[in-house]
Amino acid sequence: MKSIYLGLALILLIFVQACKNKPMKPSVEEEVVYKGIDIEQRMAKYHEVELNTDLSILTEKEKAMLPYLLEAAQIMDELFWLQAFGDKDILMKHIQDEKTRRFTEINYGPWDRLDNDFPFLEGFREKPAGANFYPPDMTKEEFEAFDDPAKTGLYNVIVRDKNQKLKVVPYHIQYSDQLKKASELLLKASTLAEDSGLKKYLQLRAKALLNDDYYESDIAWLDMKNNTIDFVVGPIENYEDGLFEYKTAYEAYVLVKDKVWSERLAYFNKFLPELQQSLPVMPAYKSEKPGTEGELNAYDVIYYAGDCNAGSKTIAINLPNDPKVQLEKGTRRLQLKNTMKAKFDHILVPISQLIIDPSQTSLVSFDAFFTNTMFHEVAHGLGIKYLVKNKKTEVKDALLEYYSAFEEGKADILGLYMVDYLYNKGELKDIPLESYYVTFVASMFRSIRFGASSSHGKANLMRFNYFIQEKAIERNENGTYKVNIEKMKQAVAKLSREILAIQGDGNKAEAKKWFDERLRISDTLKEDLNRLSSAGIPTDLIFKQGKEVLGL
């Protein structure tokens, strides 16, 4: 029992500390105890890969810039710990077992992100839906009654004042010490930037970290064209806020552009307006015109930090998220080629050999996986950003906690629709159309394994159940699945219409109905997922990364 009391005491101490952002020392000096579940089994869900690339393509100044960017990324990691959990040092101080310490670091806290946030340390209960963005005792009703228009902002936390009333604190104040240091590092890196676009972006991003206004730096990031090094940094995605999906979490990627692959991808950017107008929905749901100045690029990632390094790892990015920027300038879609190839080789291929009908396993290919992922990111920029009947309200503000899973579902399904469209147009010729569909289905099983704590996991589970319902995929007696290509095409068009209608109407009740009816794992699916785990197929990746790996 003593470990239970310790865990609960630590939770209280850590949340109090996080709100004040000052170090606190727990009153009980004991070890946090692992919950009795085999740590080796949980660690086996991850396959470790080394993040590296050919740095010989960089100039001496670009190589000298990397340590500054890596250090700034590490600060984003510290900030994400505060947002996701609280004080890392207090927690880690009480964990003596090295493997448990490592597993806790991977998950940024005591909740297993690939097991629906299961609390794996003794004494910790379920993860607060609002993470550490809100007081742990705050109810939704209290938040709704809180009269401050800034409360729904992307870049602030909600805390309690000395009278226990709710209070809004901007990120640049809450995390001022860390952000000042990160800003200084970006300015130092900018002095080494030989590309004028990269120099301007780093300078503006350094400023944005200190005032929470990211518009100018987002525009500058899109205007960069000739840079080899890229640095995505700041509070970006809102997945961690499971309460309202208002608050954004800090993260960073350090990237090196693959210019050969990027030139191949650039060709497809010109099709964006045509793809928008081709969507199988009523005109009102595709009336917005996507910006066309954005780019499709391929990169090797050499460092992940913060939100993007927690749980399932990102293999492609579509940014900026600001709908104003998207409509004005478009977005940049970044294909993270080295991470994508590692997931394909170590996870997707073994899954397909166990779960896809033998007559279709040969259709699973990296080219299809890469292309499906690319058009997933393109699809984030298509569809609709504002409600059809209220152009001032964003879709995300109408759907709230259901938005992220629906947006990921939209991107997946519209991405596949666009692959079909461009294939029939003669723009995708290297592999058969069936390869894209079968690879897509195999990848659904990969993403479902991320669990309900992941928006991607939720989206894929709901879509899997939809495709089963439509008989687009059918399970054989031996536990493998066969894809019916024609029924898949019909289901994709039908599902595209349903998702875009829910988004365009801001129909939260219908979104909830989707969750209630389709966010479930049947006994049969559970059996198939257990079979993948028993075969030793990892669920996701962890990284060996940093200056030593890069030889800096």
Task: Give the separation between CA 402 and CA 326, rounded to whole angstroms.
Answer: 21
DSSP-derived letter for residue 155 is: T
Judge contact between 279 and 286, C-beta under 8 A.
Answer: yes
CA 535 to each of CA 291, 348, 420, 440, 539: distance values in angstroms, whole numbers, following the listed order: 45, 13, 33, 21, 11
Specify the 3-state DSSP secondary structure of 229. Answer: strand
**Rg from Cα positions in the chain:** 23
| Ordered alpha helix ranges (H), 150-252 | 171-174, 176-190, 196-211, 215-223
**What's CA 543's distance to the chain center, in Å?**
16
Nearest-angstrom CA–CA distance, 442 and 364: 8
Burial class (CB in 10 A: 0-12, 13-18, 19+), 186: buried
- 392 by Cβ neighbours in 10 Å (0-12 / 13-18 / 19+) ranks as exposed
Instruction: Give the span between the Cα atoms of 156 and 136, in whole angstroms.
Output: 16
Residue-wise DSSP of 476-499: -TTS-EEE-HHHHHHHHHHHHHHH
- Show the tokens assigned to 115: 């097991």
Q: Give the Cα separation of 143 and 224 in Å (integer).
A: 40
State which amino acid sits at residue 225.
Answer: K
Q: DSSP readout, 108-131?
A: TSSEETTTTTEE-BTT--SPPTTT
Give me 317's structure tokens: 């990015």
CA pair distance 494, 485, nearest whole angstrom: 14
What pTM was estimated for this model as a whole? 0.82
| Residue in this structure with the two tokens 């068009």, named with its chain if needed | 493
Q: How far apart are CA 204 and CA 198, in angstroms?
A: 10
Is residue 310 packed enough to be buried (19+ CB in 10 Å), middle (13-18) or exposed (0-12)? buried
CA distance 252 to 310: 12
CA atoms of 397 and 506, how far apart (whole Å): 8
Q: Are 311 and 453 in contact (CB under 8 A)?
A: yes
Kind plus residue range of the DSSP H or E element containing 543: strand 540-544
Collapsing DSSP states into helix, strand and coil, what is residue 451?
coil
Residues near 150 by beta carbon (within 8 Å), at least 6 away in sequence: 156, 168
Sheet architecture: strand order including 249-257? 229-237, 249-257, 296-306, 332-336, 316-319
Question: Which pLDDT tens digits describe the chain residue by residue (552 residues)?
Answer: 333 334 444 544 444 444 443 333 333 344 455 454 578 889 999 999 999 999 999 999 999 999 999 999 999 999 999 999 999 999 999 898 999 999 999 999 999 999 989 999 988 999 999 999 999 999 999 999 999 999 999 999 999 999 999 999 999 999 999 999 999 999 999 999 999 999 999 999 999 999 999 999 999 999 999 999 999 999 999 999 999 999 999 999 999 999 888 887 777 877 888 888 988 888 888 888 776 666 789 999 999 999 999 989 999 888 999 989 988 888 888 999 999 999 999 999 999 999 999 999 999 999 999 899 888 877 877 888 889 888 889 998 999 888 988 888 898 999 999 999 999 999 998 899 999 999 999 999 998 987 766 777 888 899 999 999 999 999 999 999 999 999 999 999 999 999 999 999 999 999 999 889 988 999 999 999 999 989 999 999 999 999 999 998
